[in-house]
Amino acid sequence: MAGKVCAITGPTSGIGRATALALGRKGAKLMLLCRSAEKGAALVAELKALGAQAEVIEVDLSSLHSVERAAERLIRRAPQLDVLINNAGLVNMHRRETLDGLEEMFAVNHLAHFLLTNRSLQSLRAAPSGRIVHVGSGAHAFVSGFDFEDYGWHSRRWATMKAYGHSKLANLLFNRSLSLRLGTSGSVTSNTLHPGAVASHMGSNNGWVGKLGMLVASPFLVSPEKGAETSVYLASSPEAARYRGEYLIKCRPARPKSWAEDDAAAERLWGLSTALLAERQLAV
């Protein structure tokens, strides 16, 4: 990875941090898309101590206009981008809306990355072999398809893990439609993965209940370093260059649920995503 430029969202904790450190040790230059400039600066210092190059781009993934500005900064600073890792995600125990009027998990886990990825394609195409890595989840099994009639959970009773699984299903469907658009002969590939149940700070935004839940589950969780292995593999392994539109678990292709392989739903989600952005004066 020496000399290659890798951008990653959510790099200051959990598997994002483990991924950034692993790629830094391999010689990559890291573009850290962080909400907290202070935490980002601490990670830059840690990476520089390892001999790696890194810089911070501030972004609030719950604000689509913040994502737009971050994408503009990213393509200016990295006109040739070798890897984009859509890693950041959140779990909410209660329904929340962003300032854009969108259900927050759908907005952060899917739509922000949809916008960032599409805006970054010109830099990825400038690389000899650009790679897009989406950190999905086996939680897409918690639902049985994407609900286009109530994707924002306005009518249904809130169910945390179903809403989370719904947003992660969007990751897999986005990967599918994006990979079809990139084709089989282009220089850019797109793949998604399930990192496993990882001991991380996800859920900590839900106060003591979220922290208690993670504590209770901790004996059954893998380390962030273990959870990051497939992200690092897809970002850096020469072998992984052959994958296009795949879903990986433990560095191997796997079959997701059938509703994550629904091309019609993937195309419909693409249309919904572009329409939601257009309503907010944003284009991809």
Q: What is the pLDDT of residues 61-107, one digit of tens each?
A: 999 999 999 999 999 999 999 999 999 999 999 999 999 999 999 99
Indicate the pLDDT class of residue 205, thresholds 50, 70 and 90. low
Domains of the chain: which residue ranges?
5-279
Residue tagged 């907010």 (tokens): 280
Closest-CA residue to 235 (of 129, 96, 152): 129
Q: What is the pLDDT of residue 251?
A: 98
Q: Which stretch of 29-38, 143-152, 180-189 has the lowest confidence by average pLDDT?
A: 180-189
Write out the two tokens for 12.
Answer: 């200051």
Angstrom distance (rounded) from CA 148 to CA 223? 35
Whether 3 shows a pLDDT value over 80: the answer reads yes
Confidence of residue 197 (pLDDT cuts 50, 70, 90): confident
- Determine the Cα–Cα distance for residues 92 and 104; give it in Å rounded to an integer: 8
Which of the four pLDDT bands, split at 50, 70 and 90, describes residue 222? confident
Choose the catalytic residue: 151, 164, 243, 247.
Answer: 164
Confidence tier at 255 by pLDDT (50, 70, 90):
very high
Q: What is the pLDDT, as a whole number, of residue 215? A: 44
Per-residue pLDDT band for 185 (boundaries 50, 70, 90) equals: confident
CATH topology for 5-279? Rossmann fold (3.40.50)
Check residue 200 and give its pLDDT.
56
Contact 194, 247 (CB under 8 A): yes
Q: For 138-181, write each residue's pLDDT tens digit.
A: 999 999 999 999 999 999 999 999 999 999 999 999 999 999 99
pLDDT the model gives residue 216: 42
Least confident residue range of 69-73, 133-137, 192-196, 217-221: 217-221
Residue type, 104: E
Average pLDDT over residues 101-115: 98
Range with the lowest mean pLDDT among 78-92, 102-116, 207-221? 207-221
DSSP state of 27: T
DSSP 26: T
Q: What are the tens digits of pLDDT across the range 121-132?
A: 999 999 999 999
Active-site annotation holds for 233: no
Average pLDDT, the chain: 93
Confidence of residue 202 (pLDDT cuts 50, 70, 90): low
The model's pTM is: 0.92
Give CA–CA dist 205/226, Å, rounded.
23
One-letter identity of residue 94: H
Helix (H) or strand (E) holding 34: strand 29-34
- Asked if 260 contacts 247 with a C-beta cutoff of 8 angstroms, the reply is yes
